Amino acid sequence: DRRLMTRRLASEFLCVSHATWSRWAAERTGPPFFKFHDGEAGSVRYPSDLMAAFVESRIKQPKAK
């Protein structure tokens, strides 16, 4: 399933703030996205399957005692 999410929907999906998205964008560490137009005003969409993969890639196991 490859539904496309706006940044707002993707933010709600991940429960992260606008500030976090801005930092990820500046650092290029956030989830992968499509950009449909060149320049600053380009329309950005986040594929739902890649958002799920982004979440899975961040899973950490607790350290053993």
Longest Cα–Cα distance in the chain: 50
Total-model pTM: 0.75
Token pair for 4: 């496309």
Beta bridge partners of 46: 5
pLDDT of residue 39: 67
3 state DSSP class of 35: strand
Among 47, 51, 39, CA closest to 13: 51
User: pLDDT (tens digit, 0 to 9) for every residue of the chain, 65 residues total?
Assistant: 689 999 889 999 899 998 898 898 889 899 998 888 776 667 889 999 999 999 999 888 888 88
pLDDT for position 44: 87
Tell me what pLDDT residue 60 has. 87
